Amino acid sequence: MAVIRNVEQDEHIEQLWYMKEQGETSLDFLKKAMKRDFDARIIEELFLRGLVERSAGVATIKLTADGEARARQLIRAHRLAERLIVDVLGGADVEEIACEFEHTVSLELVNGICTLLGHPKECPHGMPIPEGECCRQATKSALSFIIPLSDIKLGESARIAYINCKNDQQIHKLEGLCIRPGVVVKLHQNYPTYVIECEGASIALDQEVVSHISVWKNFKGAEGTDEPKAADHKNKAGGLKRFFKAFFKSPSIK
């Protein structure tokens, strides 16, 4: 029963984080957002634990510094799980697994996944992923499968893993040039501007745009092409799925 209660508390904490992102502090807003999942008793528990602060006169509620720290861990784990499922496992239904993931994995594993993915800035839905210590240290690991496009050598090909442009117009422009996740690009020039080959066309990109593009490390295509072998896809996907399932056996975030 205690485990269920902790999960329910976390769900309230998460919703308060979403409200913070939207600039909302109304208790009524929280009730409407959570609907039947809202529980006044849990709010009281969070208040007694020093995780939320509230104002009875104007019916406002928000996270304390300790509450934000807990929410940051949960949101970071959730959004990194979404990134992992979409970019690595090629899944589409991410919400249920990501929700389970955020409550079960250790902080060390979350940072490991972040490093593995190359410290992504946003989840697949475009929401910011809270920064971790590994991001602040700009950790580069030999285990990382994803690197910036600017890190590949001239003449090398790579498959785009994800694009982290904050500007929607820039994202639409790249999509119009067929530069999107899953597409194979080849670097022809990196000075004074970047020139890549994509879908048979040569495209010039400036440093700022290139800095938002991340690609799979050590990309190897089939003989005579830039496309990976089908067997390589199957083997990598199977291994990563086993790796992902192992996360749920790890200690909870403390």
Asked whether residue 140 falls in the same domain as residue 243, the answer is yes
Does 196 reside within a domain?
Answer: yes
Asked whether residue 133 falls in the same domain as residue 152, the answer is no
Asked whether residue 95 falls in the same domain as residue 140, the answer is yes
| CA dist list (Å): 135 to 58, 139, 169 | 38, 6, 26
Does 243 reside within a domain?
Answer: yes
Amino acid at site 250: S
Note the pLDDT tens digit of each residue in 126-183.
Answer: 899 999 888 877 655 545 677 889 989 999 999 888 787 766 777 788 888 889 888 8
Asked whether residue 162 falls in the same domain as residue 115, the answer is no
Domain count, the chain: 3
Does 138 reside within a domain?
Answer: yes
Note the pLDDT tens digit of each residue in 179-216.
Answer: 988 889 999 999 899 999 998 899 999 888 898 888 88
Does 252 reside within a domain?
Answer: no
Residue ranges making up the domain that contains 33:
2-63
Task: For residues 218-240, give the mean pLDDT.
Answer: 45
**Beta bridge partner(s), residue 176:** none
Does 230 reside within a domain?
Answer: no
